[in-house]
Structures are given as C-alpha cells and as structure tokens.
Structure 1
C-alpha cells in the first residue's frame, strides 16, 4: 500500500480553504488544516514543529489578513500574516524539498491598465493589503524556487462573508441598493479556485519539473460590482429569493479607507497553457452559489 500523501493547508477556515477541504482528492491524500492556534505562521518554531511532526508533500497557503480597509490601520498585522507567514513557509518548504503554492490577489496591481492584466505586468499596490500580499509573493518566489503564486480576485462562495451573500442579505429589506459601477473585474468561485489549486498541487507533487512562477485564476468574462449585483438578483428572483433594484454609483460616492483597483481583470491564458486549467464563465459560477444558498434557506 502506498504511503499517504500529506498536504498542509493554511487558512482552512477561509472561503478557499473550506472549498479545498471539501474537494474530492485522490485516495491516499491526507489534508491537514490546523487552526491559527495550532499553527502560528508568524512563529518559525511553530512551523518547524509542524514540519518535524508530519512529512508534508506540499503546502497550500490560502490564509491571509484579508480585511482590506482594516489593513490601512493594521500595517504590522497585515505584513505579519501576508508577508512574514509566506516567508516562513518558503524557508520550511525549501528545506523540506517540497512545493509551496501561495494564493495572492489582484490588489498587487494599481488598476490603471486598459484590458486584462497578465502575470508580467508592472505591479503597483494602492494600499497596505496589496503591498503586504505582494511582499508575500516575493518572499515565496525568492524563498522557494519550487513555488507557484496564484493570483485571484472577487472571490465568492456559500461560505463566510462575501459580496454575493451581502447583496442577498441587504435585498431582504431594501428595495433599492446603490452599488459601485466603475470598478471592473471577474467574479470568481472559491470552489473553482480550490479546484485549480488542487490540480497545480498534485502536479507539483508528482512532477519535480512542473511549471513554477506566478499564475492567475479567475472565472471567465468580466463585469462591474453593479453588474454582478444585478446578476445575483436576477438569479435569486427567478428562484423566489430576495431581489432589489441596483443603482450604479461611482467609487467616489462610496469612499473607503483603502483604494480599490478600477480594473481587476486578470488573464488566465498562462495557467491554461501550462496546467490545462480553463475557467468556466463567471455567470455559471455565480448561479451555482446563488442556487446553493437559496436551497439552504429553503431547507432551513
């Protein structure tokens, strides 16, 4: 009987982490998703203890300080989680001779490009969150040559707090919602991100020559936050769920502590070329999530 394949997942309680744990992995794969109390990524000794206890075959770091606006006032906490944590993991995985797969973000870009961002475009974070995630990318790429950084954006799922769930909650008691209409991006299913991470991780475990570097994954197509809200409400209304009229507004009418990129559209061509991962359209992904949430509501 083959030895078990141990994979460490950090951020197991987040949207992507929960979908990684729910995914159908091959037989023999054992997933480890310790809590922050069980594994402190900012503590080198904690990480070394975990690696000494289990012969991990790969690490997927989906954990992060994701409170974008709070990060503007919590610089040290953001960099501890998003830069130092990945740096510690890069050291530990390099020394163990195993791959590290790091989840990153569209916020590494300034959003001024016209068209889809490719992996080699110049980076220019607008705030602390993006800067800390970029520092994490650099730590991973320089700290472990056998690594993949996977940037994603506009993450949605049935789990935790996200834009889709917020819209459905607000529509329950508000007939009209004002939603930003001048930021463009690609709504993306956490389940689809998890599937992409699974494919990359298993390939890197099986093949030491598997492609490394920076990649991007989002669902196909693009819209605005207001366009996404309209789609959510059309799907919800068709199934008897909450709906509202969407009034598009400018970003300037909804000021936030952290500036958001106006353009978060990411190209996934490199990932399709190197890993044969072809994202499905964002509308199909959103429909799946809306239907699951409404089914849960009906069952309750």
Structure 2
C-alpha cells in the first residue's frame, strides 16, 4: 500500500514525489473540478494514506471564478475526507493563512476565528469545514508563502525581475512566514505516519517558516543570497492594489504541531539557500 497524492505538478506535490514512493495524480487523472472523482480514486488505489496537495491557487482570478474555486478547494477535499473516514485512512489536507482576515499582529492559532476576506480564502474554508465534519484520521495543515524550485512562486518571480531591474517596489506591511515546499512535504509524511498510529491526533494545525518577515525583506534576502544588486523600495498594500484582498497579518502560531507531532518550524533562510544552491548547480552542470 502506498500514499496517494492529489496533485502532481504543484510545489508540494513535486517535493512529495522526490521524498517518498507515492502515487501522484495529475489533473487528467483526477480532475478536482469534478469532486466525485476523488472518492473513486481512493477506492481504486486503496492507499495507506491520502495527501491533498492540489488546489485552485489563482487568488485574484478566484474573485471571478468562486464557484470553480469552491469545487476544487471546497467540495473535492470534502469528498476525499469522507472517503478516507469511511475506510479509516489517514488524510492530510493543505490549507492556508487566507482563512483569516489578517487583522492584528498576534500569530494566528488553529482555533482562532476564521473570517476570510477573499474568494480564495472562502473556498479554502469550505474545504476545511468539509474535512472537519467528515471526521476520521484527518489533519488540516495551514501554511503560508510557499516557495520552491518548482512552479510559480515569489522566489522565482523575484529572481527573474531582480536580474532585469535595478529597483523593485515590494509590499512591506504584510507579514508572514515563508515556507519551503520541501519542509511541508516532510511534515505531511510525518503527520500521516503518526495519524495511522493515533487517531486522537486528528485536527487542524499550523506549519510555516521562521522567522516572520515582510514581502519586502523576503525579497531583500533573495537578492542577497543570489548576489543580485536590485534595490528594494518599501511600499504599502494600498500602493499595490489587486482584485483579491491579502491578509496583512499572516503570522501562524505553530506551537501545536510541534507539541503533538514533534515538528518544528522550518528555517526559511536555510530553505532559500538550498534552493538557490540547487539552481547554481544545475547551471554549472549545463
């Protein structure tokens, strides 16, 4: 029996495939816009655990496609969770800091009140509620600011723009914890293994990188590590308007996942260094 992963080309899904022997399903194998396929896939593969690393992540476009976002982020994971609960299979579902409104400065705890301020956040909350109500051996892992060497993410965008420009204006009043996708993948494996042994560990948890930083300071760290001379000018959110509202406070309190599963917060600076070293090695090999 293996671990079944929904998602194949996303950041965490790619890292899961590099980390463990998993069966990863691409969109043409399990289209989450048709939620019923999820239970059918679980019945077909009969895995020892299921990890949902697939999601609708187009935050701005979700403002116009909320129904589709709800199907993929809400109803599909609900069906996964129900199928897993019926078979007593450990299920890990990845969620987001966007389920909170971003107010205040205190790190969000897993049991804090959710109040999303975007269609994307609302769709992820629909999924969380469905997973929780399904019960069983489940864990919801809320994370933030995911980055890796794969796909589209802030690190790759900054590297591209920083190589072309002398200065970038980057938002400095949104604070969070950048999180390496590789660390999320490892956390998912650890959680599934422990859930298989102890269903009492089921619940919602936070997992995000340390230390907290702003997007602007994250950009500065990227340029410094990459040896780029691009200057970063601080701006506020109001200077960079987007269709979807972003939470200003994305700090996540990760103490419970350490207490229950023994998983500490990853050092995003070390993760960034490893990714850039990987990029340099690939360039050298070519």
Category of TM-score, reference length = shorter chain? over 0.9
Deviation at 1:293, TM superposition (A): 2.1
2:18 to 5, 22, 34: 22
Residue in 1 that maps onto 2:72: 81
User: Aligned partners of 1:143 and 1:52: how far apart in 2?
Assistant: 17
Deviation at 1:101, TM superposition (A): 0.7
Moved over 4 A (4+): none
Residue in 1 that maps onto 2:258: 272
1:35 to 15, 23, 26: 26
Deviation at 1:290, TM superposition (A): 2.0
TM-score under structure 2 normalisation? Answer: 0.96
User: Aligned partners of 1:111 and 1:48: how far apart in 2?
Assistant: 34
Q: Indicate conservation of the 8 Å contact 2:88/2:136, yes or no.
A: no
Residue in 2 that maps onto 1:108: 99
User: Aligned partners of 1:40 and 1:210: how far apart in 2?
Assistant: 31
Q: Indicate conservation of the 8 Å contact 2:7/2:13, yes or no.
A: yes
Q: Secondary structure at the match of 1:85?
A: helix
Unaligned runs of 5+ in 1: none
Q: Indicate conservation of the 8 Å contact 2:35/2:71, yes or no.
A: no
Matches within 5 A, 1:1-300: 5-23=1-19, 25=20, 30-43=21-34, 45-205=36-196, 207-237=197-227, 242-300=228-286
Q: Secondary structure at the match of 1:40?
A: coil
User: Aligned partners of 1:39 and 1:144: how far apart in 2?
Assistant: 23
Q: Indicate conservation of the 8 Å contact 2:39/2:80, yes or no.
A: no
Q: Secondary structure at the match of 1:33?
A: strand
Change in CA separation of 1:232 and 1:60 when aligned onto 2, cut-off 3 Å: same
Deviation at 1:280, TM superposition (A): 2.9
TM-score under structure 1 normalisation? Answer: 0.91
Deviation at 1:208, TM superposition (A): 3.9
Change in CA separation of 1:159 and 1:44 when aligned onto 2, cut-off 3 Å: closer
